[in-house]
Amino acid sequence: MKDPTSPATSKASGVAWPPIAVPGQGLPTRDPQTRPAIGGPPADAPHRSSRDSRPAEASAPTTASYSAGDPAPGGPEAQDGDGAAGEGSAMLDDLRTAIGRYVVLPSDEALTAVTLWVAASHIQPGLQHAPRLAVVGPTKGCGKSRLLDVLYETVHQPMMTVNTSPAVVFRVIGKTPPTLLVDEADTIFGPKAGDKEDLRGLLNAGHQRNRPAWRISGPEHKPTAFPTFAMAALAGIGDLPDTIMDRAIVIRMQKRKPGERITPFRSRYSVPELHALRGRLADWLVPLRGTVAGAVPKMPVEDRAADTWEPLVIVADLAGGHWPARARAACLAMTRNEVVQDEQTTLKTRLLRDIRRVFDQEGSKEALRSQDLLAVLIQDAEAPWAEYGTKRLNAYHLANLLRVFGISPANYRFENGRQAKAYARNHFVDAWARYCPDPAPSVPTAEVPARPTQGRPPAPPSGTLPTGPPGGPAGPRPTR
């Protein structure tokens, strides 16, 4: 449905900001000179609209990740919640409500992520990274296509790419790229993909700016660079390839419960309502594309996860209110969820975790015979090792899987004087720390152990096989 309020135009900036009616207060007053800036409101600005007064869900982990000396997550240039910044927060609230009315998403964090992803599509010409939105589900009927329907009516310049040829997509993407929406992505990446290698390469390369695809084009057969940078949402059954999932905000859809109800999506009233929201988002964000190009928000994650989530956090900081904290909380929760999901599905990482569990169960043993380790692994009914290979996991398979981590068995002499092929605990320490680390417990500052007294080195660890770096002077000495 159309927004009943008409946009109020700022003569100073040329930006149209739609007024938001606050229940019981009427239309808010604004300073026409106010422009939104990167960052949320400072801590000493309690004035917010009634929509912003409710607490942001799961914001505790984000607040705890910043020390007292760090600046607020919103940054030093945050507005006080009035004017444009306050209207941006209310606009995102309206978009979040509209999306949640038509689709049941797996969590509040997922709904927040989709909302910010839609808004980020309107500033993608000013972004360095174009995050993918991977909408995956175990079966059909989980709402994946319905979510794409809602995205199609709200994102910037949508382009549905069902059965679209790579040549068309290469020529459509330019300085102002569209937002690609790919339904039935399993037809591109699955066993029925066929000759879609060009489209797969485009979707992989388009996550980062300045990654063109070179093709021979024209009657003169000149090498031509085709831009690939464009935001994309991909929906399909089952996980997408790792190269896509690693560059994506992953939404794991599920079938609705009997009590979960949604509003039917009907073009006669749903499309006008969503188009009105898209127009408001464009009026707010399009003039800020030059501003966001130099934005460096404070991120709660690192590396590629930070690249993927940065556009969403930038939009949240522009909106202010509770959105900076809400965006960072969603970033932490969903990133950690994907780390756990990846650990559970990656076979070699699963093997490292299971071997660590076996060593923990055995207590103080510093080495385990290969056959003893295999016997315990195969007995786990929930693990894949009893059905690994043609029969089950054997010593050759075990050594082959662990070789990539620099771990191999060796001959060791045990307490009874017998020698056997065995795996030493200290050979796994480095791989455990890198690929399946335990969650770091929060240690109060007062309980941090002090440095050892000078002149008194710590006592060496007890046991027949002292711990140390593999192959180092303190490592176990294999027998010949």
Q: Under the phi-then-psi rule, with left for phi > 0, alpha for psi from -120 to 50, and beta for the rest, what region is 407?
A: beta
- In this structure, the chain runs to a length of 480
- Range list of H helices, 386-470: 395-402, 429-435
Q: Do residues 154 and 125 touch, judged by C-beta distance below 8 A? A: no
pTM above 0.85, yes or no: no
- Report how far residue 134's alpha carbon sits from residue 60's, in angstroms, rounded to the nearest whole number: 26
User: Where does 58-128 have alpha helices with state H?
Assistant: 60-64, 83-102, 108-120
Distance between CA atoms of residues 311 and 315, nearest Å: 6
The amino acid occupying position 230 is A
Token pair 């797969």 is at which residue?
200
- The per-residue DSSP string of 12-56 comes to TT--EE---PBTTTBSPP--TT----SS---TT-----GGGGSPP
Q: How far apart are CA 396 and CA 225, in angstroms?
A: 48
C-alpha span between 356 and 380 (Å, rounded) = 14
Residue 306 has a pLDDT of 94
Q: For 224, phi and psi rounded to 5 degrees?
A: -125, 135
pLDDT, mean of each 10-residue run, the chain (480 residues): 41 41 38 40 38 37 36 40 72 96 95 97 93 91 93 95 78 85 80 65 86 86 90 90 88 90 92 96 94 91 93 96 96 90 77 92 89 92 86 91 90 85 92 78 42 47 45 45
Say how far apart CA 409 and CA 422 lie, in whole Å: 5
Pick left, alpha or beta for residue 72 (phi over 0 → left; psi -120 to 50 → alpha; otherwise beta).
beta
Return the axis-axis angle of helices 395-402 and 347-362, rounded to nearest 10°: 110
Rounded to 5°, the CA angle 351-356-359 comes to 125
**Element containing residue 421 per DSSP (H, E):** strand 419-424
Q: What pairing do the DSSP bridges indicate for beta strands 179-182 and 158-160?
A: parallel
Residues 312 and 280 sit within 8 Å (Cβ to Cβ): no
Which of 186, 307, 198 has its CA nearest to residue 246? 307
CA-CA distance, 264 to 273, in Å (whole number)?
13
- The pLDDT, as a whole number, for residue 429 is 92
Residue 271 confidence (pLDDT): 95
What's the chain's average pLDDT?
Answer: 77
Does residue 410 sit in helix, strand or coil? strand
Q: State both tokens at 230.
A: 């464009």
pLDDT of residue 84: 59
- 221 Ramachandran zone, left/alpha/beta (phi>0; psi -120 to 50): left
Q: Which residues contact 357 (CB under 8 A, 6 or more apart)?
A: none
What is residue 442's predicted lDDT score, i.e. its pLDDT?
A: 41
| Residue 174 neighbours by CB under 8 Å, 6+ apart | 227
What letter would DSSP give residue 129? Answer: B
The DSSP output letter for 255 is P
Count of other CB atoms within 10 angstroms of residue 239:
18
Using CA atoms, how far apart are residues 123 and 312, in angstroms rounded to an integer? 10
Nearest to 185, CA basis, from 229, 135, 120, 220 = 135
Crossing angle (nearest 10°) for helices 323-345 and 347-362: 80
